[in-house]
Chains A and B, each alone.
Chain A
Amino acid sequence: MMKILDWAREKSPWILHFNTGGCNGCDIELVAALTPKFDVERFGIRLQGSPRHADVLAVTGPVTMQIKDRLIRVYEQTPEPKKVVAIGACALTGAPFKDCYNVNGGIDTLFHVDAYIPGCPPKPEAIIDGIAKLISAKKEAKPVGKDK
Chain B
Amino acid sequence: MEKTSEISDRLREHLKDSIVEMKNPRERRIFLRVKKEAFRETLEYVVNDLGFKHLSAITGVDLGTEIELLYHVVLNDAVVLTLGFSVPKEKSTTRTITDLVPSAVLYEREVHELLGVGFEGHPNLIPLVLPEGWPQDVYPLRKEWQLEQLRKIALEK
Contact = CB atoms under 8 A, between A and B. Distances in A.
Q: Indicate whether A and B are direct neighbours in the complex (CB within 8 Å).
A: yes
Contacts of B155: 65, 104
B147 A102 contact: no
A100 interface: yes
Interface string A92-105: 00000001111010
Interface string B123-157: 00000011110000000100000011011011101
Contacts, number: 24
Contacts of A104: 154-155
Secondary structure type dominating chain A contacts:
loop
A101 B131 contact: no
Interface in A94-128: 99-102, 104
A50 interface: no
A66 B129 CA distance: 9
A60 interface: no
B157 A101 contact: no
Contact of B157 (A64, A65, A100): A65
Interface residues of B, number: 13
A65 B140 CA distance: 14
Interface string A58-72: 000000111000000
Contacts of B130: 102
Interface in A48-89: 64-66
Contacts of A66: 131-132
A125 to B, nearest CB: 35
Contacts of A102: 129-131, 154
Contacts of A100: 147, 151
A99 B157 CA distance: 16
Interface of A: 64-66, 99-102, 104
Given A65-B155, A99-B147, A101-B153, 5 more contacts: A64-B131, A65-B131, A65-B154, A99-B151, A101-B151
CB-CB nearest 10 A-B residue pairs: A101-B150, A65-B131, A66-B131, A65-B154, A101-B151, A99-B147, A101-B154, A101-B140, A102-B154, A101-B147
16 contacts: A64-B131, A65-B131, A65-B154, A66-B131, A66-B132, A99-B147, A99-B148, A99-B151, A100-B147, A101-B147, A101-B150, A101-B151, A101-B153, A102-B129, A102-B131, A102-B154
